Chain A
Amino acid sequence: MSAATNYVAFILTALTALLLPPLLLATIRKTKARMQNRLGTRLFQPYYDLLKFLAKAETVSSTTSWVFRSTAVANLVTVILIAFLTPWLSYGPHFRDASDLFLIVYLFGLARFMTVLAALDAGSVFGGFGASREVTLALLIEPGVVLALASLACVAHTSSLGSIMSYSLVDNPVLYTQPIMWLLAGSGLFLASVAELSRMPVDDPTTHLELTMVHEAMILENSGRNLALTEYTHVLKMAVLLGLSGQCFLHSVADLWSANDLVRGAASIAIIFALTLVIALMESLIVKLQWRKVPEFISYAVGMSLLCFLIAVGVR
């Protein structure tokens, strides 16, 4: 890749990371509205919402400390870092060596840790139980995510996500022959992302009822600019996580391994929208699970990753 195209690719990635995420949220909302025979809000409403929040004044509880103040920014920085380290848009040659899968998993962990701290910091009841639920969920999800990525890493003989998902026959000739493994890893990651992103059937992001909230309960204290940053971080995280599982699905298509970068980039964006639609359909058709049934749902994510792991042991 020449220096000029490299710059163009970098700028395109940056622009996509900046502009795409709220559109995903809009897609989910619009699809859900259409499924319920409603007209729904404007397609670009999430952008207007973000702008509105940015312009509003903040209310900050007097019991909070610097932890609460810094969390929104810290999370945004962490997730932007993840967005540039991981090849979620099939592009990541700049930081190929830095995109270690364990680094990525624990950067997500760091963001979650900060969110939980901020939720506890305000001292409200909602923050407390939201945090406790979030940590429980994280505990259940993490084996699924790590196992899926680590199985791919075992077969590719490298833990760098940039190399694993590079569509390069030179880097990983064995993974090219394992479309089923990619599919399993993709579905494991996707199911885990649904839980991680607090979408249905694990958590209902549209209600503010204490029995159902997980993510919303934690960010309840945020307002104004803080809320804008928090919301944007969440949608960016959604784009990255869906992008990562989308990359796994795309790698199972042999034609894409020989396609050019532009086709791959377009396919990546298309698959992110496809997965978003799947989430929207799931939210329209499935009811939210009881909290004690959530482990059953997540066990399927871990199950997919375990199957992926079995294949990895078989072909290694």
Chain B
Amino acid sequence: MIANLDAYQILAISAAVMAMLMLGTTHLKGGLSFYMVHTILVAAQAVFMGGMRTQLHEYLVPILYAGFKGVGVPIFLTYVMKKIEVDDDAGTYLPPPLCLHIGILMLGVSYLLASHMPGLVAASDAHIGAMAAMSMLFTGMLLMLTRKLAISQLIGFLVMENGIYVFACSHTHGMPMLVEMGILLDVLVGVIAAGLLSNSIKRSFEHIDVTKLTDLKG
């Protein structure tokens, strides 16, 4: 089955792998460039899902997706990072190398899950898509659980969101345009809000280490 992958499957799996590579580094800029490639691959797999697309909006949404989430968000986060003067994750609960390897093992777990979970579409494209999507969910979860910096957690959230998008794509062959645009807007606003918030947290507390936010209680 792994022998003959079509374009969609290769894109979905490489998107999942790109997300995983983020786990291995605490360098925020490096992580962001992995995130950029990852999101653009996620947008590309949406184009290839189910063969050639016919309607214009089916191209429009992936392009917007790549534009906003793949390029806009990293640029905005780079700006925030510059503003609050962080370029390296302060600390992690698990060592990054271990995290990366757990992420890769989770890809294997997702493969098993995707083949045994009831109710999934049986086509081979949907199977691989579901595997990639679950692996991205695990990756995002690992990022959010193990990192202490607000920006890393934000990236983790975005990766999870990408996972959900891949899952939806692999099982629905494209959602209504309005729904996709709505989600896109929500995420964008969420990122901007979180970015501005970390900016003001930094201004009030001089760090954005989420473990020390209990200081808020005073």
Contact = CB atoms under 8 A, between A and B. Distances in A.
Pair from one complex: yes
Interface of A: 177-178, 180, 295-296, 298-300, 302-303, 306-307, 310-311, 313-315
A303 B111 contact: no
B2 A315 contact: yes
A292 B107 CA distance: 27
B15 interface: no
Interface in B91-148: 95-98, 100-101, 104-105, 107-108, 111
Contact of B2 (A295, A303, A311): A311
Looking at chain B, what size class is its interface with the partner chain?
20 to 34
B3 A178 contact: yes
A139 to B, nearest CB: 12
A296 B2 contact: no
B24 A299 contact: yes
B166 interface: no
A177 B97 CA distance: 30
A314 B128 CA distance: 13
Contact of B100 (A177, A300, A314): A300
B97 A298 contact: yes
B17 A307 contact: yes
Contacts of A306: 101, 104-105
B96 A296 contact: yes
Contacts of A296: 24-26, 96-97
A307 B2 contact: no
Contacts, number: 48
A315 B104 contact: no
B47 interface: no
A310 B107 contact: yes
Q: Which of B2, B20, B25 has the most CB of A within 10 A?
A: B2
Nearest to B2: A314
A151 to B, nearest CB: 13
Contacts of A302: 97, 101
Given A177-B3, A178-B2, A306-B101, A299 B108 contact: no
A296 B3 CA distance: 31
A302 B98 CA distance: 10
Interface of B: 1-5, 17, 20-21, 24-26, 95-98, 100-101, 104-105, 107-108, 111
B3 A303 contact: no
A314 B21 CA distance: 21
A79 B3 CA distance: 36
B144 to A, nearest CB: 19
A302 B96 CA distance: 13
A299 B3 contact: no
B27 to A, nearest CB: 8
26 contacts: A177-B3, A177-B4, A178-B2, A178-B3, A180-B2, A295-B95, A296-B25, A296-B26, A296-B96, A299-B97, A299-B100, A300-B100, A302-B97, A302-B101, A303-B20, A303-B21, A303-B100, A303-B101, A306-B101, A306-B105, A307-B17, A310-B104, A310-B107, A310-B111, A314-B2, A315-B2
A299 B105 contact: no
Q: Which of A295, A299, A310, A314 has the most CB of B within 10 A?
A: A299
A303 B26 CA distance: 16
Contact of A299 (B17, B101, B111): B101
A310 B108 contact: yes
A7 to B, nearest CB: 39
Contacts of B20: 303
A314 B111 contact: yes
A255 B124 CA distance: 28
Given A299-B97, A300-B100, 19 more contacts: A177-B3, A178-B2, A178-B3, A180-B2, A295-B95, A296-B24, A296-B25, A296-B96, A299-B96, A300-B24, A302-B97, A302-B101, A303-B21, A303-B24, A306-B105, A307-B17, A310-B104, A314-B2, A315-B2
